[in-house]
């Protein structure tokens, strides 16, 4: 799985009929400290993620294992909206406060 931050939407007025009704988001991969990697993904979303949300992304055939995506031409899927990331017993990310590394930099 990949950790990503939703940075926008992709709108396709013409697409495969099996994608009708599927919201497509643009997500940028992030490291556990919140640093953007620069890798972008178009991801299908059926959970209601929005701009700025940190999400879990499943790629490849695993993206087609859900009831909603089975037999659809989907290669990347939002499978979770992240509330907390905990590393070595400490919160590295919380939805309310953001990434800890970024909070520390903001104070200096």
pLDDT of residue 101: 72
Q: Is beta strand 36-45 parallel, antiparallel or unpaired with respect to 23-30?
A: antiparallel
Separation CA 72–CA 23 (nearest Å): 13
Q: What are the pLDDT digits (tens) for 72-88?
A: 999 999 999 999 999 99
Domain region containing 61: 2-107
Separation CA 68–CA 3 (nearest Å): 21
Q: Is beta strand 98-99 parallel, antiparallel or unpaired with respect to 84-87?
A: unpaired
Q: Is the pLDDT of residue 11 over 90?
A: yes
**Domain tally for the chain?**
1
CATH number at residue 27: 2.40.50.220
């Amino acid at each position: 799985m990949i950790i990503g931050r939703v940075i926008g939407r992709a709108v396709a007025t013409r697409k495969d009929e099996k994608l009708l009704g599927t919201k497509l988001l643009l997500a940028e991969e992030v490291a556990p400290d919140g640093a953007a990697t620069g890798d972008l993904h178009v991801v299908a979303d059926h959970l209601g993620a929005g701009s700025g949300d940190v999400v879990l992304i499943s790629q490849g055939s695993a993206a087609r294992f859900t009831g909603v995506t089975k037999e659809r031409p989907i290669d990347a899927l939002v499978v979770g909206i992240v509330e907390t990331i905990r590393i070595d017993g400490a919160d590295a990310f919380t939805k309310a406060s953001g990434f800890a590394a970024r909070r520390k930099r903001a104070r200096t």
